Chain A
Amino acid sequence: MAATKAQHTQPDLFAPPAQPPRVGRIGRQALQLLVIGLPIVTLLLLIFYPLSAIILQSVFPNLYTAHPDITPQFGLIVQVLSQKHTYVAVFNTLWISTITVVITCTFGTLLAILTERTDLPGRRVFRLLVWLVFFTPSYMLGEAWTLILIRGSLPDHYLHFSQAFIQTFLSPLGVIIVLSLKGFPLTYLAVSAALQGLGSEFEEAAHVAGARPLQAWLSINMPLLLPAIFAGGLLTFTDSISDFGTAATIAQNASVPLVTYQLYSAVYSSPVDFSQAATLSVLLFVLTIGALFLQGRFLRSRSFQVISGRTRPAHRMSLKLWKIPALTFCVILFALALFIPGLISTLASFTHFLERGLVPSNLSLENYTKVLQSNTNDAVALGRSFVLSLTAASIASLVGLPVAFIIRRTNLPGRRLLSFLTIATVAVPGLVLACGYIFAWNAPWLGAFGIGTPNGFRIYGTSWGLLFVYIAGGLPLAARLGIGSLDQIGQSLLDSARVQGANLFQLLTQVIVPLMRSSLLSTWLLVFSGSMFALATSELLYPAGQPTAAVAIVKYFNDLRYGIGMALTVLTVIAVSIMLLILRAIPWIVGRMLRQRAIVLTTQAAATESE
């Protein structure tokens, strides 16, 4: 007799299903060890070991020689720091970065207030443009502005700059301008995030008490925003002191020595000045960590909690007569940071000779065809950068997630140390990390492990070294971003999976990764673009005869071959933009398809039920 529907109304749901054998306890523990141990080992080998190599090298200068000697020589540090070119570079770096911070805080805060709290027309566009500036590497901006303001440039061809005007730019002022144009997004992002959480009730209370709008802003909102402004300023400071792109381009042209270029020169001098390289690396590292520490202390001590359960969305101020000046400010800012450099760079990429201007005979696609021909070094360099960046981004994103999970969602011993490592290393200058790789992976004792020997596994001087340093550059960032995303996932979502029987690997792959896919993609893109544009690390570690796209671009500029250099720049930007579009479009398309399928199936089920 066929089973009727009634007989199925009370299924024997507590007859346990046949249980296939599960992974044994040893297998489970091995898997957990792998998921937890591999990221930690990666972090230690790729970041901690090279950084410690620098610090040790600065104190024990003969540690990494053929006959290691652990005799400390602090006198060498003093000697390096007392050399004129060193302390001039340090002094320049500090005062230029300080002024940059003042400018970026002013511009970034003003822009954030205009886009988040006023009726500024086009504010959505400006928000997007901030991200474009953020992603643009500093050496591209530096090269572009050098291209704009040198004698014989395209604008000079038409505007005939005076020598005084050119000399004014090719000076510390020019370095400050370029660093400020590159750095204001950091303050903007910090302040705009704070503004999004700042309700109107504080201003409204001030208005009720009799304050005019500007008074209310200055006396109420600005103090509340100070932590964010300060945080953004410190980030800009660390970014400026460790910037290599500007140091290698406009600062060089302006003969303004900076610490980062001194470090680079120490490695490329003959013979290599390891003491200076190590000392300057440690100095940069200490300055960076010190700034981050100061930022952390400041943020912890000032609890300007502005988001409460009663915070209501802020209303927008009407700019009225100030609309045109505000719009003008934004347009000029982005013109200087993005449009003008972008336009001149693109135009230059189509020219044979800059000084001949934009006449038809001087314009062609020749620079692009030269780059794209598959048998040229440039196409190979672009392809090499693409593959390395793709691999580094994938590995950093995948390894960063377990690191974030260990720090945030486990009670494992050492997770605080791990957290400190990721914070301390997220702002480590790429140059310092690359310098560390030179010492760390050339150590003679590694030969005992088959590393660095002619027949063994070579890291320094090969693409492996470059790949590892790209991963090392992206891993702390991936971990910190992962922590931020994990904090948004309710603990009960993870607990319920564990109660259902999920082990650590299943928890990560079936619950956490799908929930974090949007932020994982963003992290991937951040690491990918950072690697594609990485100059400092590439300059120090690229294998001989195998440059990356960034190295090739800067070499063209140094050889005064601006057209082809800009063509390669434009193609690199296009490659990153295509990847951005693909990564953003695919999830959107897939999500749309899944939603439509769900609607169709639900409608079918409802129709069946009503029948």
Chain B
Amino acid sequence: MSFLEIKALTKQYAARTVVSAIDLTLEKGEILSLLGPSGCGKTTILRMIAGLITPDSGYIRVENRVFYDNGRQLPTEERELGMVFQDLALWPHMTVAKNIGFGLRLRRQPAAFIAERVEELLMLVNLPGFGNRYPHQLSGGQQQRIAVARALATSPRIILLDEPLSSLDTGLRATMREELVQLFKRLKITAINVTHDQDEATVMSDRIMVLRDGRIQQMGRPTELYLEPENVFVASFIGQANFLQGHAISAADSHTDDTHTDGSTPMIHVKVLSTHGVETLLTERLFTSSVSPNIRAHLNDGVMLMCRPDNVRVHLCEPMPDVPNVLRGTVAHTSFVAGRWRTLFGVDGQAQPVLAYPSFSPQIDQRVWLELPPPDCRILPME
């Protein structure tokens, strides 16, 4: 039996469905991130788990306690959860020690026990001796840690994090997410983290659930989502991606001499449409396991050929004719970011530029050849 189980969780506001039949399981000690743009329903899911919003239908269970079952709801205060809020929600009229010990006082723990527990937690978040300060006397990062300590104080079944790092500056955010994930792993904490920051989701999570308009787009390990996205939305939300629009056709229809065919491996070609009406044939060499079932079923439908910018090879000289997936392009824009040249290439016959990181210093209007190696390409359904 999984640690957390959610089945067919749904929520509507007026005529709009914000969460649509979500299914989810989580194992003990796992960290899951709910990732998606604003309005995708991720915070609503989190708040339904916390009991702060009542679902319209569905089922939520954590360990042996049913939180919600189609109308029957366990009150929030009985769910034994911990939660870190986006604005941290540290009570300004209580000291740090009182903030952390609040849940324990409600459970009528002895004062000595509470004091000892508070000190242990302050040590854990590297803020020993801060118990007598008030929240307004702390920095943003310190407040963040106190909010985490408070969430841990009552030994909750699950920790829920609602964009806890969004109010921090970029540098501090990067530091804090490393600290958080180390802390959670050390303590074997089960957590669900809501974020719109894909870097944060990737760093902190064992699995990521990508949401859009209240529906799950894909769920899996960060590497899976990055290397094997199931649709254009996931591919563009996790990392950067280049897309070429075209039609998927079988090898038999391509009228080319395919030298890459591995007899036991099916080949799918993509006929990429150009803006000038000239069709360019690109090939993709795929293994069956990585092909989306809906692509295989609609080979003549429109598809998007995706290739990550890191995998695009930029040539100053025209490659040999037998090199597949080559496009001619021109340097449109370039900038030196984080130690490499982030360059946009205008591609002949294509409206959308291609993003790549050439190993040389590109010049504007420089003519190049762009190679999209077949093993690094992926076919995705057209949106």
A-to-B contact residues, CB < 8 Å? 8-11, 13-17, 19-20, 22, 490, 492-493, 495-503, 506, 510-511, 514-515, 598, 601-602, 605-606, 608-609
Give Cα distance in the complex from A208 to B305, angstroms. Answer: 54
Tell me whether A13 and B187 are in contact (CB under 8 A). yes
Tell me whether A501 and B120 are in contact (CB under 8 A). no
Tell me whether B89 and A492 are in contact (CB under 8 A). yes
The residues of B that contact A8 with a CB separation of less than 8 Å are 120, 123
Q: Which of B77, B85, B86 has the most CB of A within 10 A?
A: B77
Give Cα distance in the complex from A605 to B91, angstroms. Answer: 22
Nearest Cβ in chain B — how far from A139, in angstroms? Answer: 40
Chain B, residue nearest A609 (CB): B129
Tell me whether B76 and A13 are in contact (CB under 8 A). no
The residues of B that contact A606 with a CB separation of less than 8 Å are 129
Tell me whether A14 and B124 are in contact (CB under 8 A). no
The residues of A that contact B92 with a CB separation of less than 8 Å are 515
The residues of A that contact B106 with a CB separation of less than 8 Å are 500-502, 506
Query: Within 8 Å of chain A (Cβ to Cβ): is B103?
Result: yes
Known: A13-B124, A495-B83, A501-B106. 18 other contacts (CB 8 A): A8-B123, A13-B120, A13-B152, A13-B155, A20-B108, A492-B85, A495-B50, A496-B83, A498-B77, A499-B160, A500-B154, A502-B106, A514-B91, A515-B91, A598-B95, A598-B137, A602-B132, A602-B133
Nearest Cβ in chain B — how far from A503, in angstroms? Answer: 6
The residues of A that contact B120 with a CB separation of less than 8 Å are 8, 11, 13
The residues of A that contact B152 with a CB separation of less than 8 Å are 13
Give Cα distance in the complex from A498 to B88, angstroms. Answer: 14
Chain B, residue nearest A608 (CB): B129
Can you name 17 A-B pairs with beta carbons within 8 Å? A14-B188, A16-B155, A17-B109, A17-B113, A17-B154, A20-B107, A492-B89, A497-B102, A498-B51, A500-B103, A500-B150, A501-B154, A514-B91, A515-B92, A602-B132, A602-B137, A608-B129
B-to-A contact residues, CB < 8 Å? 50-52, 76-83, 85-89, 91-95, 102-104, 106-109, 113, 117, 120-121, 123-124, 128-134, 137, 150, 152, 154-155, 160, 186-189
Tell me whether A501 and B107 are in contact (CB under 8 A). yes
Checking A11, A15, A492, A598 against B133 with a beta-carbon cut-off of 8 angstroms, the contacting residue is: A598
Give Cα distance in the complex from A39 to B339, angstroms. Answer: 66
Chain B interface, DSSP helix/strand/loop, else mixed: loop
Tell me whether A499 and B83 are in contact (CB under 8 A). yes
Nearest Cβ in chain B — how far from A498, in angstroms? Answer: 4
Nearest Cβ in chain B — how far from A606, in angstroms? Answer: 7
Nearest Cβ in chain B — how far from A36, in angstroms? Answer: 14
Chain B, residue nearest A595 (CB): B134
Nearest Cβ in chain B — how far from A20, in angstroms? Answer: 5
Nearest Cβ in chain A — how far from B305, in angstroms? Answer: 42
Q: Which of B78, B107, B137, B189 has the most CB of A within 10 A?
A: B107
Give Cα distance in the complex from A118 to B154, angstroms. Answer: 55
With contact pairs A20-B107, A598-B132, A605-B129 given, residues A502 and B77 touching in the complex (Cβ less than 8 Å): yes
Give Cα distance in the complex from A502 to B107, angstroms. Answer: 9
Checking A16, A22, A492, A601 against B87 with a beta-carbon cut-off of 8 angstroms, the contacting residue is: A492
The residues of B that contact A503 with a CB separation of less than 8 Å are 77
Nearest Cβ in chain B — how far from A595, in angstroms? Answer: 9
Q: Which of A17, A20, A510 has the most CB of B within 10 A?
A: A17
Tell me whether A498 and B52 are in contact (CB under 8 A). yes
Checking B117, B128, B134 against A17 with a beta-carbon cut-off of 8 angstroms, the contacting residue is: B117
Give Cα distance in the complex from A17 to B154, angstroms. Answer: 8
The residues of A that contact B88 with a CB separation of less than 8 Å are 492
Q: Which of B86, B133, B186 has the most CB of A within 10 A?
A: B133
The residues of A that contact B95 with a CB separation of less than 8 Å are 598
Q: Which of B78, B113, B188 has the most CB of A within 10 A?
A: B78
The residues of A that contact B78 with a CB separation of less than 8 Å are 501
The residues of B that contact A492 with a CB separation of less than 8 Å are 85-89
Checking A15, A514, A598 against B93 with a beta-carbon cut-off of 8 angstroms, the contacting residue is: A514
Chain A, residue nearest B116 (CB): A11
Give Cα distance in the complex from A605 to B127, angstroms. Answer: 11
Nearest Cβ in chain B — how far from A26, in angstroms? Answer: 13
With contact pairs A495-B52, A501-B103, A501-B106 given, residues A609 and B128 touching in the complex (Cβ less than 8 Å): yes
Q: Which of B78, B87, B88, B106 has the most CB of A within 10 A?
A: B106
Chain B, residue nearest A506 (CB): B106
Give Cα distance in the complex from A411 to B299, angstroms. Answer: 52
Tell me whether A493 and B89 are in contact (CB under 8 A). yes
Give Cα distance in the complex from A609 to B129, angstroms. Answer: 8
The residues of A that contact B89 with a CB separation of less than 8 Å are 490, 492-493, 495-496
Checking B77, B87, B134 against A490 with a beta-carbon cut-off of 8 angstroms, the contacting residue is: B87
The residues of B that contact A500 with a CB separation of less than 8 Å are 77, 102-103, 106, 150, 154
The residues of A that contact B160 with a CB separation of less than 8 Å are 499
Give Cα distance in the complex from A608 to B113, angstroms. Answer: 22
- Top 6 A-B pairs ranked by shortest CB distance? A605-B129, A500-B103, A492-B89, A601-B132, A496-B89, A492-B85
